[in-house]
Amino acid sequence: MSDSKDYLYPQKWLSKASTGDRVAYELRMRILSGLIESGTILSENKLAADFEVSRSPIREALKILASENIIRLERMGAVVIGLPEKEIEEIYDVRLLIETFVFERLMKMDTTTLAMELSKILEMMKIAVKYNDADEFSYQDVIFHETIIQSIGHSYITMIWTNLKPVMEGFILLSMRMRFKEKYEDFTRIIKNHELYIEAIRVKDRELMIQSLHENFRDVQGKVDDLWRSQQLLSKGVELEHD
CA distance 219 to 73: 35
Q: In the chain, which stretches have pLDDT less than 70? A: 1-5, 218-243
Q: 153 vs 24, 106, 118, 149, 156, CA distance in Å?
A: 28, 11, 16, 8, 9
Order across the sheet with 77-80: list the strands.
41-43, 77-80, 71-74
What residues contact 200, with CB distance under 8 A and at least 6 apart? 103, 208, 209, 211, 212
List phi, psi (to 5°) of 71. -135, 165
At 160 the pLDDT is 96
What is the pTM (predicted TM-score) of this model? 0.87
Given this model, what pLDDT does residue 221 score? 53
**Predicted local confidence at residue 236, as pLDDT:** 56
Can you give the pLDDT at residue 218? Answer: 67
Fold of 11-80: Arc Repressor Mutant, subunit A (1.10.10)
Q: Which residues pair with 48 in a beta bridge?
A: none
Are 184 and 137 in contact by the 8 Å Cβ rule? The answer is: no
Convert the pLDDT of each residue in 130-159 to its tens digit: 999 999 999 999 999 999 999 999 999 999
Is 1.20.120.530 the CATH classification of the domain at 85-237? yes
Residues of each domain in the chain carrying CATH 1.20.120.530: 85-237
Looking at residue 240, what is its pLDDT? Answer: 42
Parts of the chain belonging to CATH 1.10.10.10: 11-80
Per residue in 182-203, pLDDT tens?
Answer: 889 989 989 999 999 999 999 9
**Looking at this protein, which amino acid is placed at residue 95?**
R
Angstrom distances, CA of residue 96 to CA of 23, 36, 110, 155: 29, 29, 22, 18
